[in-house]
Amino acid sequence: MTIRFVPIKTVLIVLTAATLAGCATQPTTLKEAYKNDFLIGVAVNQKQFSGEDRRGDPIIKAQFNSISPENALKWDATEPEPGVFDFTNADKYVAFGESNHMVIVGHTLVWNHQTPRSVFQDTNGNPVTREVLLQRMHDHIQTVVGRYKGRIKDWDVVNEALKDNGELRPSPWEKIIGPDYIEKAFQYAHEADPDAELNYNDYSLENQEKRDGAIALIKKLKADGIPINAVGLQGHLKMAWPTVAEEDATISDFAKLGVKVMITEFDIDVVRATQGNRTADIEANARLVDGANTYSNGLPANVQQALADRYAELMGVYLKHRDVVERVTFWGVTDGDSWLNTPGRMNHPLLFDRQGQAKPAFDAVLKAARKPAGN
Ligand code: XIL
């Protein structure tokens, strides 16, 4: 019997090559892990698109292939006074997306928040007429969407038009123009950029009453020939709400209408005091401050793990619906960036901690992509 002598160096080379080959099949970034499923987006703030956030910058560039403007494209930012436009930040935002080859999202054209009061008033402070407000809406959409025609690929045209019970929210838009303000907004956006994808965006559509309202709204828009491509589920979720079954049913219900689904503002609130608050209304969110600061020294390991598991189960639902889900966008880069932090309340809702370190939730989201989707 002959004993073959294999030099130790050869053994090491073979082992190293095998390990590297193994790693190469396991993506280490979110955009890579989900590249055959949907886009992975992130909301960016002014510091980030201006290149002033050294902690966030490498994370954004490595992990995401789509961006949303946290505030830079809202009405108060782009048209602070009727007819006076300011595209300083919006231009930087779009340039940032282009230089990083990302799919650039527009958020948002018609909303009741972050819209100056002067939009709805004449110079004497009296409410404007339907005709005047329609003209202002038209000019705003034409100017903003037109400016980024062909560059911003998908627009949240109307944001949060429904109340929790599914009825139309009595916003100044609805009160002055009437319920058809929604279709007008979509028509104006389509005229300004016929190739852009146009979305209706809202929160808590997982709740049956509100979901029914959105379904009726979308059915009506489609029946009237209004160009709507997708529904945006904001995805401001809690640890136990919605259930996996509710999230699953919500996506199925919208898919049946022939629209795509986007998860547009994903985050998971971990603070105990706000768990029961099943709404992402920014006024309600701001009210619940007292006593809500439960994890000011960071998340205990068991809560970190629970958050990771929660992210994994929800990503599982989105993967299951990868034929209709086009994009999953996280509403912020690190926990420190999140809108869920308010004075006196520190939240931990995202995938990266305040130091920019990946949390167990990040690993869980990455790992979820490797699992075959359920049925
Ligand atoms: C939030 C931003 O994150 C905050 O910076 C801002 O102060 C308020 O708005 N639903 C939406 C988003 O559609 O535009 C909101 O963003 C969060 C709730």
Residue 327 scores a pLDDT above 80: yes
* C-alpha dihedral, 148 to 107 to 68 to 189, nearest 10°: -40
Q: Contacts from 168-174 at CB under 8 Å and sequence distance 24+?
A: 168/213, 169/112, 171/112, 172/112, 172/119, 172/120, 172/127, 172/133, 173/110, 173/112, 173/133, 173/137
287: confidence class by pLDDT, cuts 50, 70, 90: low
Minimum-distance ligand 1 atom for the alpha carbon of 280: 18
What element of type H or E holds 295?
A: none
Would you state the pLDDT for residue 342?
A: 83
Mind telling me the catalytic residues? 160, 265
Rounded Cα gap, residues 217 and 162, in angstroms: 9
Quick one: angle between helices 301-320 and 360-370, nearest 10? 30
Chain mean position to CA 324: 16
Q: Do residues 191 and 149 touch, judged by C-beta distance below 8 A?
A: no
**Minimum CA distance residue for ligand 1 atom 4:** 339
Minimum-distance ligand 1 atom for the alpha carbon of 339: 3
Residue 3 scores a pLDDT above 90: no
Which pLDDT tens digit goes with each residue over 72-81?
999 999 999 9
pTM strictly above 0.85? yes
**Minimum CA distance residue for ligand 1 atom 5:** 339
What share of the chain has pLDDT > 90, as a percent?
A: 82
Q: Is the CB of 104 under 6 A from ligand 1?
A: no
15: confidence class by pLDDT, cuts 50, 70, 90: very low
Q: Is the CB of 341 under 6 A from ligand 1?
A: no
**Minimum CA distance residue for ligand 1 atom 7:** 339
Q: Do residues 292 and 261 touch, judged by C-beta distance below 8 A?
A: no
Which pLDDT tens digit goes with each residue over 201-224?
999 999 999 999 999 999 999 999
Locus of tokens 């992509």: 369
